[in-house]
Amino acid sequence: TNWSCGQTKLLRHHCECVKVIPGSAQMFVNPDRLFTFDHAFGPSASQDEVYRACIQPMVRSLLDGYNATVFCYGETGSGKTYTISGGRVITSPPLLLLDDEGGIIEHVARDVFGYLDEKLKSNEIDVATVHMSYLELYMEEVRDLLDLPTNQKVVVGARESAVNSAEELLSLVEMSSAARQTCTTRMNDKSSRSHTVLTILINQQCNNDSNTLCSSKFCLVDLAGSERVKKTGNTGKHFKESIHINTDLLAVGNVIRALSDRALNFCGKTRKSTFIPFRDAKITRLLRDSLGGTSHTLMMTCVNPSSNSLAETLNVLYFASKARHIRNHPAKQPIHTDPKYNQKLARRVMADFKMRGHILLAENEKKENNNSLLTKQQSEDRDMAEVEEDTVNGLKGLR
Ligand SMILES: Nc1ncnc2c1ncn2[C@@H]1O[C@H](COP(=O)(O)OP(=O)(O)OP(=O)(O)O)[C@@H](O)[C@H]1O
Binding residues for ATP, as ranges, are 74-81
Probe residue for ligand 1, chosen from 82, 90, 183, 241 as the CB with the greatest number of ligand atoms within 8 Å: 82
* DSSP H/E element including 34: strand 33-36
Per-residue buried b or exposed e for 217-255, using 16+ beta carbons within 10 Å of the residue's own CB: bbbbbbbbbbbbbebbebeeebbbbbbbbbbbbbbbbbb
Ligand 1 centroid to Cα of residue 86, in Å, is 9
Q: Which atom of ligand 1 is nearest to the CA of 223?
A: 25
- The DSSP bridge pattern shows strands 68-74 and 127-138 to be unpaired
- Judged by DSSP in three states, 327 sits in coil
Which pLDDT score, from 0 to 100, does residue 354 have? Answer: 53
Ligand 1 neighbour 100 (Cβ under 6 A): no
What's at 337, amino acid-wise? T
Ligand 1 neighbour 86 (Cβ under 6 A): no
- For atom 1 of ligand 1, the residue with the nearest CA is 6
Q: In whole angstroms, what is the distance from residue 163 CA to residue 170 CA?
A: 10
Probe residue for ligand 1, chosen from 188, 221, 312 as the CB with the greatest number of ligand atoms within 8 Å: 188
pLDDT tens profile 129-158: 998 988 888 877 777 777 755 444 443 455
Which pLDDT score, from 0 to 100, does residue 159 have? Answer: 65
Q: Which atom of ligand 1 is nearest to the CA of 78?
A: 21
What's at 163, amino acid-wise? V
* DSSP H/E element including 83: helix 80-85
Closest to 1 (Cα-Cα) out of 19, 25, 20: 25
- For atom 31 of ligand 1, the residue with the nearest CA is 87
CA-based end-to-end distance of the chain: 16
- The DSSP bridge pattern shows strands 296-302 and 68-74 to be parallel
Three-state SS string over 67-95 comes to CEEEEEEEECCCCHHHHHHECCCCCCCCC
Query: Could you give the domains of the chain?
Result: 2-338 (3.40.850.10)
Which pLDDT score, from 0 to 100, does residue 340 have? Answer: 61
Which pLDDT score, from 0 to 100, does residue 377 have? Answer: 43
Looking at the DSSP bridge assignments, the partners of residue 86 are: 102
Ligand 1 neighbour 8 (Cβ under 6 A): yes
What's at 202, amino acid-wise? I
* DSSP H/E element including 136: strand 127-138
- Judged by DSSP in three states, 192 sits in strand
* DSSP H/E element including 121: helix 104-121
Binding residues, as ranges, are 74-81
The answer to whether the CB of 106 falls within 8 A of the CB of 86 is yes
Q: Which atom of ligand 1 is nearest to the CA of 85?
A: 18
What are the helix and strand counts (H, E) for the chain? 12, 14
What's at 321, amino acid-wise? S
Q: In whole angstroms, what is the distance from residue 26 CA to residue 155 CA?
A: 46
Q: Which atom of ligand 1 is nearest to the CA of 226?
A: 25
Probe residue for ligand 1, chosen from 2, 7, 248 as the CB with the greatest number of ligand atoms within 8 Å: 7
Ligand 1 neighbour 87 (Cβ under 6 A): yes
pLDDT tens profile 254-313: 888 888 887 777 665 555 667 888 888 888 888 887 777 888 889 999 998 888 888 889
Mean pLDDT by 10 residues, the chain (399 residues): 50 76 88 90 90 95 91 88 78 55 90 94 90 84 70 50 90 81 67 84 78 84 77 68 81 84 68 78 82 85 89 88 83 64 56 51 47 45 48 55
**CA angle 356–360–365, rounded 5-degree value:** 150
Ligand 1 neighbour 190 (Cβ under 6 A): yes
Ligand 1 neighbour 76 (Cβ under 6 A): yes
Which pLDDT score, from 0 to 100, does residue 283 have? Answer: 86
Q: In whole angstroms, what is the distance from residue 112 CA to residue 121 CA?
A: 14
The answer to whether the CB of 241 falls within 8 A of the CB of 139 is yes
Which pLDDT score, from 0 to 100, does residue 272 have? Answer: 63
Length of the chain: 399
C-alpha of 11 from chain center: 27
pTM of the model: 0.79
pLDDT tens profile 347-375: 555 555 455 544 454 555 454 444 444 44
Ligand 1 centroid to Cα of residue 134, in Å, is 21
Q: In whole angstroms, what is the distance from residue 153 CA to residue 151 CA?
A: 7
